[in-house]
Amino acid sequence: MHVENKVAIITGASSGLGKALAERLVSKGAKVILGDIDMKDGLRLANELNYGKKEEVAFFVQCDVTKYDQQAALFTAAQKHFGRVDIIANNAGIAENAPLWEDEKGIWKKVIDIDLSAVIEGTRLGIEALKKQKEGGVIINTASLAGLYPQPRTPVYSAAKFGVVGFTRSFKDFGDNIRVNAVAPSGDIARVTPQYGISVLGRTVAADKKKKAKL
């Protein structure tokens, strides 16, 4: 997919994989709506991406993806600032930081809300927007190798990511020129570098000069 002049919405955009994706898309001529709960880093990234550009290429919207009205605001911003949306990256995610039996605060529920429920809502909103435009587009849901292979240390995170994988695969033959894909990163995604491989459902693509993953 050629991304020049395309408009992308990215959640979890202020750091890690989301930030790397935003930087990559802008470098290829796309425009981005940056959604993240972290206002400070989100605004900083938007300023960095816009620096030296003749026109605005990035706009930040503070977004708690568990608040569905805030997710909807990302699509409103895309239309207001750039007139369209072509790519939706449902990337925001967290993992539990304690064994399940010690989780008296119910953090596991937040993991499901952010890592699975918000992805479902983001996909719903994305399909709705793309169908209205009638020009097709791409939805990218961030899964994980933990969604392909169980992870004893983070069982709830693993369950959520398994859910993302199954949910995304259900759209394999969706039609309307809308593709719903998932990526399953390995390693520490907070330190995304070119040597990390990205596992795309159905095949694994090494991030080297000879192989490039297509959206």
- Opening angle at CA 180, ends 201 and 43, nearest 5: 100
CA–CA dist 57, 177 (Å, integer): 25
Burial class (CB in 10 A: 0-12, 13-18, 19+), 40: exposed
68: annotated active-site residue: no
Per the residue annotation, which of 68, 149, 157, 196 is the catalytic one? 157
Helix axes 118-133, 155-169, angle to 10 degrees: 20
Is 40 in contact with 32 (CB distance < 8 Å)? no
DSSP, collapsed to helix, strand or coil, labels residue 106 as coil
Decide if 89 contacts 22 (C-beta within 8 A): no
Q: How far is CA 193 from the centre of its chain?
A: 17
Q: How many CA atoms lie within 13 A of 48 on its CB side?
A: 14
Instruction: Supply the residues annotated as catalytic.
Output: 157
